[in-house]
Every structure is written in structure tokens, then in C-alpha cells.
Structure 1
């Protein structure tokens, strides 16, 4: 059985510090300047437990802060990419919430000033007995003399969303290597990845949330239309709750490449893309990605161009990688890039 502690292979030269401890995750560096992150709970279809969201966000933040790393690949161990979060965890929260109800307080109580209620909300789901993601919220209710109170909620997921990735802005690209089931929160992560490589035979995509009365609130819904090319496709995925194969996702524009073969072949293809990206100017990759991100986020093209030129582009114009790129072209040789200082 995979270790819950997570594993990291030997570290490449150039890292300023080692990656943060990330349970249920394998971290490796299979190509120069490339990070491979493998979710490692195959017995649970790589369902993500609540503590892992923040741990993964710390890992993605660490990746962005490492000048020597230029591209990352995310995949899953075994037959699934990620089926969402852990149903057993959700069931435990449900039982805890039910046990706290009653006249003494808890879910149904809270009549006194400063009482605290714990609520469990289902927000994602997978398929079968795996993959229901849970957000735990706390509600502090201060009742006034008139019986009215204000309730504040704190979402347990980090700012980056599911897996620290579904709402990540980030600085550097992440490629999804979809080796199997990619459902609920797993699909939400993929929708925010920069490229997607998928297995023809094994990859299955979907947002089955509506089938169990919940909503995909970790970033998928606002991104569906722009990722799939039309409002109607987005609504089909969000409202029908059905699964889709890699061929349909390729047809609709989400998948960049379909791979024949097993999960290892999918990861190898994704690493090929990562290696190609890492061979380019790291400064140019970061700034080009930011320009695309501005357009995808609905910023007017003229405004987005102005933001890019005066912001990110101004920081690399005349810099050592831009000078090297032009000089190598003139000298008809391969450029030798410096790690980005952005």
C-alpha cells in the first residue's frame, strides 16, 4: 500500500530548498527543469482528503518559487487520475455534525450568544463510493437581543481551490496527465491546467455533482464555457452530470493530445510537452502564459495588452534571456537560458 507520508526522489541541482512534505503524493524530477506530481492513493482512486488541499497548494507555491523549475506535470497512481475527495471523510463529517445537533447546540442549536455551529457541505463528487468532496465550514452566530444574528463561514479549502489547483493563478504551467477517472474535483483541477494529455482508453471526465444534489464550486463552472467552446456544451456537462471520454473532450477543445497505451505512456507524453516548454525561455513562457490568462479571464484585449507590456513584459525586456534568445538566433545556435528571476 502506498505510504501516506508522501515521497520525494533525489533533488536536482539548483533548487533553493526541498519541496514541502505532501502526504499521499510522490514528487519527482524526471526531466531537467520539470516537476512531476503524482497523487498516490490508488486504493481510493486518488480521492483527495481535506488536509491535502492545503498541502498541495504549498507544493504549487513552492514550485512557482523555484527558479530551476519551469514546468510541472500532475497525474495519478493506479487506474485513476483523481475521483474527487474522500467519501469516508464526508461520511465522518456528516456523523459528527449529526452528533452535535440537539438542544445542547451543534447543528440545530446555537441560541446563546457566541455559540459555534459546525456544518458540513458537500461540494464535489466522484463516482460510486469514491470521490465526494466535502467542505467543512464553521459558523459563529452571535445572537442579538431581538433573536437576529450574523453568521460567517470559513471555507476549509485554500485560495487555490481543490488540490490547491482548481482556482490557482500561479506563475508557471501545469500539465495534466489524465491516466484514468477524472471526476468532480479532479475534473475541476484539470479545467484549470495549462495543457491536458489523456488516455484514449482509460480517461473519463465529468462533473456528476448534480446527481447527488451538490454543486462544483471550486472553479469548474466559470471555466467550463471558455474551456469547451460554448455555453451549451458547458451547460450539458454541468447539468446532465454524465461522463465523457477523451475523444469528446479532444473534440471540444479541452484535451491537447490523446495517447494510446497505459498510464505510463500518458505521463511520458505529458513529460514530452513539459520538456519542450522547459526548453524555451523561462521568462517568455511565464509572460506568455500571463497574457493568455488575462484574455481567458475576460479582460479587454487592449487593456490586457497594456497590462502585459507595462507589467510582466517590462520586467524581461532587455534582460539576459531576451538578449540570449536574439543572439542565439543570429549566431544560428541553440540558446542557453538562465533560470527566470521573475
Structure 2
């Protein structure tokens, strides 16, 4: 199944490319296992500071391979869950570059992402209920946190998709582009990320993600974020950032 998900490295940026267009980039077990391996490697490699998920063909992803599912094969891994990512997204930033349809698990894949760039022709939807299924890849609880509750419920219970322009107005999509330009725009976002201190970016994402998922009170947040930030205060990168500012030059980050 390796050929169904391909990777490319451009500097500090990892591009993860879904490459099963003949099946609308639907996920089977092998693809989920490959995705988990890729995300594990991404988190572990200090040279990689931002990642982008993009897809070949006219569909970003139609979600779970329903033919495989009918045979009892679920695209789930032990460690990271659905599609090898949904239960435990990467610690580092992840960007979705969406062309075409992101439906069911395909939309839940974008819910794992921190930034979403979409073609004006793209559509998003949680279509599981049309097949007697439930959006158990995070759709039922993550989407209501991202957009107004009533709109999220409409998408969940009607199973009807919404165009990317609607999702942009709702704040779900960060940036709209013309068809065929999603990856280019995602690379521009990634370039902005990688110019920043990688340890600071990762700690910032951790605070934002955990505070939302665990519903920290303000009192808890002050304490827990201090624990997350403490190692950075002793890092070489923090000292480099301060020196570079004083010397009026661009910092050179080491990720340590």
C-alpha cells in the first residue's frame, strides 16, 4: 500500500500525498498504517517543521473504503486511531491542501489539521449518516468546536455537504484559492511556519490543542502552560532568538 501515500521533503516541509485517485483516495487498513508511520517519523524528525496533506485526482478523500469496510477491514491503527492520525494528530503543525471533495473521513482528516487551504470548488461534508454510519473519526465532537454549533449539527444530521466558500465564511477554511492552487498556498503557509522557532511552534500548538480538548479553566491553563513552556526557557533556540533580535539579524534555529 506504500504507493497509495507518497511523501516529499522540501527543505523543512513534509508533503504527504494521498495517491489512490481511482478509489477517490478512500482509506483502507494499509493506508492507515502507512499514515501512522509517516506521522510518527514527522514528529520524530527535528529537521521537519511543517507538513501538508494533499491528494491526487479530483477528490481529496471520500473517507473510509466502504468496500473494505463491508469485508470487516477498518482503516484504524492501534496507536493513532482512524486513518493512522485521527486519534493522535501530529505534535507539529499540519496543513490541509484541499481540492475537490473532502467527505466523511476525508473531512475528518481535515479536522486533524491546524490550517486548511481549499479550492473554491472544494466541498466539505460528514456524509456518514447516509450510509448508516456515524462520524466516529472526530467529526461529531471536533466540528462543533470549529464552527457554530447549529451549523455543525446541520452538517452532521443532514449529511449534506457545504461548499468551501461557506466553510471559509464560517472560519473553518483559512484561505480560499482558485482550483489547482491549494498546494501552492499551503506551501506559503508552511514557509511562514518554518521561519519560526520549531520548539516554540510545537509548544504553542500543544497548549492550544490540549487546552481545547481538556477544557482547561484559566487557573489550570496558567499552570499547565508553564509546564509546557519551561523546557524552552533553557533552550538554545530561545537564546538564539534573543541574540538575533539584539544583533538585528535572522535567527538560525537548531530545534534544541
Please tell me the TM-score bracket, short chain as reference. Answer: over 0.9
The residue number in structure 2 matching 1:106 is none
Query: Which of 119, 124, 142 matches 1:205?
Result: 124
Shift of 1:40: 0.2
Counterpart check, 1:39 vs 2:49:
no
Mapping of 1:25-174 within 5 angstroms? 25-30=5-10, 32-91=11-70, 93=71, 120=72, 135=74, 156-174=76-94
For residues 72 and 168 of structure 1, what CA distance do their matches in structure 2 show? 15
User: Which deviates more from structure 2 when the two are superposed, residues 62-71 or residues 47-56?
Assistant: 47-56
Aligned residues of 2:32 and 2:84 also touching (Cα < 8 A): yes
Alignment equivalent of 2:238, drawn from 319, 322, 325: 322
CA distance in 2, matches of 1:304, 1:224: 23
Structural RMSD (CA): 1.5
Counterparts of 1:205 and 1:86, CA distance in 2: 17
Can you give the 5+ residue segments of structure 2 that lack an aligned partner in the other structure? none
Distance 1:212 1:223 in 2: 21
Check conservation: 1:74, 1:174, Cα contact below 8 A.
yes
Q: Does the alignment pair 1:219 with 2:138?
A: yes
Distance 1:302 1:279 in 2: 32
2: CA distance, partners of 1:90 / 1:287? 37
CA contact (8 A) 1:40 1:76 kept: yes
TM-score when scaled to structure 2?
Answer: 0.94
**153, 159, 166: which one aligns with 1:241:** 159
The answer to which structure has the higher helix fraction is 2
Distance across 1 between alignment mates of 2:6 and 2:59: 15
Q: Secondary structure at the match of 1:324?
A: helix
Return the offset for 1:302: 2.5
Asked whether the 8 Å contact 2:81–2:88 carries over to 1, the reply is yes
Equivalent residue for 1:253?
Answer: 171
CA distance in 2, matches of 1:188, 1:64: 20
Give the conservation status (yes or no) of the 8 Å contact 2:97–2:186: yes
Q: State the 1:163 CA deviation.
A: 2.0
Q: What TM-score, normalized by structure 1, do the two folds share?
A: 0.71
Q: Distance in 2 between matches of 1:74 and 1:241?
A: 24
| Corresponding position of 1:142 | none
**Structure 1 residues 267 and 164 mapped into 2: Cα distance closer, same or farther (>3 Å)?**
same
User: In structure 2, what is the Cα distance between the partners aligned to 1:135 and 1:49?
Assistant: 7
**How far off its partner does 1:170 sit?**
2.7
Q: 1:219 to 1:158 in 2, by over 3 A?
A: farther
- Deviation at 1:159? 3.6
1:177 aligns to what SS in structure 2? Answer: strand
Unaligned runs of 5+ in 1: 7-23, 94-119, 121-133, 137-155
Alignment-derived partner of residue 291 in structure 1: 207
